Amino acid sequence: MNTRKQLLIGLTLGRRQPRVSVKDRQITLEEEYASSIKEQIEIAQQAERAKLDFLFKADYVVAHPTFMKKSKGIATDPTLLFSIISQYTEKIGLVTTASTSFVPPYLLARQLQSLQWLSGGRAGWNVVTSIEGFENFSYEERPTSKIRYEKAVECTRVVKQLWTSYPHKVITGEYSESSIEVLNHKGSHFAVKGPLNVISHPKGTPPLFQAGASDEGRAFAAANADAIFAATPELSVAIELRADLRSRAVVIGRHVDEIRLLPGCYFFVGNTKEEAEEMHRQAHAHITMEQKYNAAEELLRVSLREFALTDVITEETLPPLDSTIRSRTHSELLYLYIEKNHPTVEEILSRTEVMHSAHWVVVGTAEEVAKEIIRWYEADAIDGIIAVPGGSDISLTLFLEQVIPKLAEQGLFRNEYTGSTLREHLGMDTQYKGEDK
Ligand SMILES: Cc1cc2nc3c(=O)[nH]c(=O)nc-3n(C[C@H](O)[C@H](O)[C@H](O)COP(=O)(O)O)c2cc1C
């Protein structure tokens, strides 16, 4: 019998490239929107047929030009989108993103608990502290990472308390009303009386995901997260991050396997290596040099324009990272690469940190992509992946219909669902913990 620990596999849900464009006046905006929702439901069902653990949706609450272009102007709230998807799927987990910097805990608890009920226990919460959008939420400037995480710690604690504050067993008559908990929480950032007006779910609370690997981010993840969506462009980065998070979790009394590292895996799968490479090339052909220089400057706080493309950059060229940096995780990754490799400007401008969110990029045939995922698994770098589709529909179909079965053949992924909640897929306990008082 094969006893290998299985991989956890999620898929980021996004839009396909529209086949007909509104600009050509062949369809109306409303038709385009309706078809984008239909497409995402179809992708969700396709992922469920492949028995994936969960769907994942990032979210930014700002009309940033890049995000607007990507979402074609309508970045539907992910929790609302998953509410619809929950009605067209049965088993797959639904991990939505919501920011502790912007949404107050009562509302967060209510929305996520509602999704938990709508989906029959399949909701998950990707807890973000956000790097964009503060101007839309009464902030004068982006708070430092330290303050954002302080708020995240308090917010998350309150959300978890609210989730169990009104036990469902009171409604069924198994518990007395004295089991209902008033929180009377008064902290540095929030005052919440409670209880929540959506009862606890019999299958337990939604698992917590987290993204952000600064020192504060790691401390938060080790204490709170069940899974981490990680930006790990290199194998060595993933090994270090996973080992560090696991040892931090143990120090604070958690079991080492309660923390699951799931790097973003940006994949381009082709019928041939050449087809995959061409998809990868085309996906980035539209990124101008200007955009690359801007992205690198934002990460490094130094303009690379003054250098020739062949000039070598070392750590001496870089200013120290300070607390006002946009995303410490992303900047630190690029700093690390420069320190280790002393690359040319041209090499820096083509890095994944500059071109696409610092994710691990995998390009090849289904065989090659499966092999690469297994290589990282065997190096103790990952507990699974959050797959980010790159390229055309072919790439996604090959990933779901060929890469996943190859992992299953090796005993590293399921052939059938054994549970129907996200907690079950993640191997978490599913017993309701609330007690009668
Ligand atoms: C892989 C990854 C994905 C993220 N996704 C989101 C997101 O969807 N929405 C958001 O507002 N912030 C997102 N963030 C930002 C983090 O929540 C966090 O604010 C940021 O990384 C700064 O934290 P740090 O100091 O730990 O790097 C993401 C960060 C990482 C590394």
Ligand 1 atom nearest residue 358's Cα: 1
Nearest residue to 436 (alpha-carbon basis) of 191, 214, 164, 84: 164
Yes or no: say if 162 and 198 are a contact pair by the CB < 8 Å rule: no
Yes or no: say if 394 and 334 are a contact pair by the CB < 8 Å rule: no
Ligand 1 atom nearest residue 99's Cα: 11
Kindly state which CATH superfamily the domain 8-272+358-425 is placed in.
Luciferase-like domain (3.20.20.30)
Residue 398: pLDDT band with limits 50, 70, 90: very high
Cα 231 to ligand 1 centre (Å): 9
Ligand 1 atom nearest residue 131's Cα: 19
Determine which residue's CA is closest to atom 13 belonging to ligand 1. 130
Show the ligand 1 pocket: residues with CB < 6 angstroms. Answer: 58-60, 97, 99, 128-131, 145, 211-214, 216-217, 229, 231, 264, 327-329
What is the pTM for the complete model shown? Answer: 0.94
**For 211-256, how does the pLDDT look when each residue is reduced to its tens digit (9 = 90+)?**
888 999 999 999 999 999 999 999 999 999 999 999 999 999 999 9
| Of residues 68 and 436, more confidently modeled | 68
Cα 96 to ligand 1 centre (Å): 14
Q: Which residue, chain included where needed, has tokens 């895996």?
A: 265
Least confidently predicted of 37-51, 131-145, 315-329, 395-409: 315-329
Contacts of 96 (CB under 8 A, 6+ apart): 57, 59, 78, 79, 82, 112, 115, 123, 124, 125, 126
**For 340-357, how does the pLDDT look when each residue is reduced to its tens digit (9 = 90+)?**
999 999 999 999 999 878
Distance from C-alpha of 361 to C-alpha of 268, rounded to nearest angstrom: 8
pLDDT at 241: 97
Yes or no: say if 20 and 26 are a contact pair by the CB < 8 Å rule: yes
Contacts of 52 (CB under 8 A, 6+ apart): 9, 10, 11, 92, 400, 404
Determine which residue's CA is closest to atom 12 belonging to ligand 1. 130
Say yes or no to pLDDT of 66 above 80.
no
Which residues are 384's β-sheet partners? 8
Yes or no: say if 252 and 284 are a contact pair by the CB < 8 Å rule: no
Ligand 1 atom nearest residue 229's Cα: 1
Say yes or no to pLDDT of 3 above 90.
no
Say yes or no to pLDDT of 323 above 90.
no
pLDDT at 355: 86
Cα 210 to ligand 1 centre (Å): 8
What are the structural domain ranges in the chain?
A: 8-272+358-425
Cα 207 to ligand 1 centre (Å): 18
Say yes or no to pLDDT of 1 above 50.
no
pLDDT at 71: 77
Percent of the chain with pLDDT over 90: 81
Choose one of 129, 155, 209, 262 to mutate for the ligand 1 pocket test, by most ligand atoms within 8 angstroms of C-beta.
129
Least confidently predicted of 67-71, 138-142, 186-190, 279-283: 67-71
pLDDT at 183: 97
pLDDT at 431: 62
Residue 292: pLDDT band with limits 50, 70, 90: very high
pLDDT (average), residues 30-35? 90
Distance from C-alpha of 136 to C-alpha of 234, rounded to nearest angstrom: 35
